[in-house]
C-alpha cells in the first residue's frame, strides 16, 4: 500500500467497523454519546477532502456470493466524502483466489474476509495497533472485542463483524443483527389482506391461506446455507447447532435442546399439510432462490439481507413481483430468543 493512504485507510477501517457492527443504525443523539463515534466524526471533520484529493484503494471481498461489484450507495458516498477514499471492489471467481493472491503477494489495499487465522499474520497484514500508534490514533476498541479479535501472536489485525458484547448492544436500541431472516412475496401477502404476523401461529395460518388460494405454489422453503435458523429461533432452539449449548445454566449436547423437538414438530406439520416439499430437505445449493424466481414460492427462510439480494435477482430475471422482509416475529413468540454462536466471522484486513 502506498504510504500516503495509510492514515486514511486506518481511519476508514475504524469507521466501517463501527458501521458494520450496527452502531451506525442508532439515532444521531446516541452517536454523539459514543466515544468511538465521536472520535471517528472528529477525525473526518478535520480532514475535509476536495475531489482532487480523493484516492482510490483496491478492496477485495473474499466471498463468491457477494452481490456488489462497485463502491456506490448512501454509506459509500458518506465514507468517500468524510475520509477521501473510494474503493475499487473485486470479488473472487472461486474459493481459492485469496490463497493465490497471498502466494503472489498482490492483495491490493484492503481485504474483507472470514479467513481470520490465515490473514492474522505479520508477514501478510499490518498490525492495527502499530499503525494507530504510528499515526497517533486511538482505536478505542472494547476490551471484550479486543479479546475475541486478538490473534495467536498477540496482535490485532482486524475487528470482526457479526458480534458485539451485551454491554455494548444495550446502548444501541436500533442495532441490526447480522442474522437470519424471512422474506415473503409482497403481492400475494397484500392480496391475502396483509394479516398481522406476530408469532409462529400467525405465520402458520398465513401459509395455510397461501396453500388454499394458490394451490400450485409452494408456501414455504428454506435456504440450504442458512439451515432454517429463523424457524428454529422461533421454536426456542439454539441455531448453528454444534457441540454443547446452555439449557437452564447447564451445558448439554445440542441434540438435547428442547427447542429442537418443537422445531421438528413444526416441520413435520408443515410438510404433512403440503406447506413444504420433501425435496427441500435434500437441497444443497440455491434451489430455493430458483423456485422463488420461477414464481412458485411464497416464503423463503434466508438471511437478514434477503430482501436486497433476492429483489436484485428477481429484477435481473425480469420477474414482475418482489419480496419483503418480515418484521421480527420473535418479539411476539413465547420462548423465542436470538443467540450469538460466534465471536464474529468476517473482518477488514490491511495487507
Sign of the four-CA dihedral 301, 303, 304, 305: negative
pLDDT digit string, tens, across residues 297-349: 999 999 888 898 899 999 999 999 999 998 778 888 888 877 666 667 788 99
Segment 209-216 shows an average pLDDT of 98
CATH class of domain segment(s) 182-325: alpha beta
Q: Is 154 left (phi over 0), alpha (psi -120 to 50) or beta?
A: left
Q: Is 53's pLDDT higher than 70?
A: yes
Same fold for the domain at 3-176+345-349 and the one at 182-325?
yes
Task: Band the pLDDT of 22: cuts 50, 70, 90.
Answer: very low
Residue-level pLDDT at 295: 96
CA-angle at 325, arms to 72 and 18, nearest 5°: 45
**Domain spans of the chain?**
3-176+345-349, 182-325
Taking the model in full, what pTM does it have? Answer: 0.65
pLDDT digit string, tens, across residues 281-296: 999 888 999 999 999 9
Residue-level pLDDT at 60: 94
Q: Is 143 left (phi over 0), alpha (psi -120 to 50) or beta?
A: alpha
Which numeric CATH code is attached to 3-176+345-349? 3.40.190
**Contact present, 111 and 62 (Cβ < 8 Å):** yes
Amino acid at each position: 500500500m502506498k504510504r500516503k493512504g495509510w492514515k486514511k485507510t486506518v481511519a476508514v477501517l475504524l469507521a466501517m467497523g463501527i458501521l458494520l457492527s450496527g452502531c451506525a443504525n442508532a439515532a444521531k443523539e446516541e452517536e454523539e454519546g459514543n466515544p468511538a463515534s465521536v472520535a471517528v466524526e472528529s477525525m473526518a471533520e478535520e480532514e475535509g477532502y476536495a475531489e482532487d484529493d480523493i484516492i482510490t484503494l483496491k478492496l477485495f471481498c473474499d466471498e463468491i456470493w457477494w452481490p456488489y461489484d462497485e463502491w456506490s450507495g448512501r454509506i459509500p458516498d458518506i465514507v468517500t466524502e468524510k475520509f477521501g477514499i473510494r474503493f475499487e471492489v473485486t470479488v473472487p471467481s472461486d474459493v481459492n483466489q485469496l490463497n493465490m493472491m497471498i502466494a503472489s503477494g498482490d492483495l491490493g489495499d484492503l481485504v474483507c474476509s472470514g479467513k481470520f487465522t490465515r490473514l492474522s499474520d505479520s508477514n501478510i497484514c499490518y498490525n492495527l495497533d502499530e499503525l494507530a500508534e504510528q499515526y497517533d490514533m486511538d482505536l478505542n476498541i472494547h476490551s471484550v472485542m479486543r479479546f475475541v479479535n486478538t490473534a495467536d501472536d498477540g496482535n490485532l489485525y482486524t475487528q470482526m463483524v457479526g458480534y458485539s458484547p451485551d454491554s455494548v448492544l444495550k446502548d444501541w436500541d436500533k442495532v441490526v443483527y447480522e442474522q437470519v431472516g424471512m422474506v415473503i412475496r409482497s403481492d400475494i401477502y397484500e392480496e391475502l389482506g396483509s394479516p398481522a404476523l406476530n408469532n409462529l401461529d400467525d405465520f402458520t395460518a398465513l401459509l395455510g391461506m397461501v396453500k388454499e388460494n394458490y394451490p400450485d405454489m409452494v408456501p414455504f422453503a428454506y435456504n440450504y446455507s442458512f439451515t432454517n435458523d429463523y424457524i428454529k429461533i422461533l421454536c426456542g432452539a439454539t441455531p448453528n447447532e454444534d457441540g454443547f449449548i446452555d439449557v437452564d445454566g447447564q451445558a448439554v449436547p445440542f441434540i438435547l435442546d428442547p427447542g429442537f423437538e418443537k422445531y421438528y414438530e413444526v416441520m413435520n406439520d408443515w410438510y404433512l399439510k403440503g406447506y413444504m416439499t420433501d425435496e427441500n430437505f435434500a437441497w444443497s445449493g440455491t434451489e430455493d432462490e430458483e423456485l422463488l424466481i420461477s414464481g412458485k414460492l411464497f416464503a423463503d427462510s434466508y438471511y437478514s439481507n434477503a430482501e436486497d439480494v433476492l429483489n436484485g435477482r428477481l429484477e435481473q430475471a425480469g420477474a414482475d413481483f418482489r419480496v419483503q422482509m418480515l418484521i421480527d416475529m420473535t418479539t411476539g413468540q413465547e420462548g423465542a430468543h436470538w443467540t450469538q454462536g460466534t465471536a464474529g466471522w468476517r473482518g477488514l484486513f490491511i495487507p
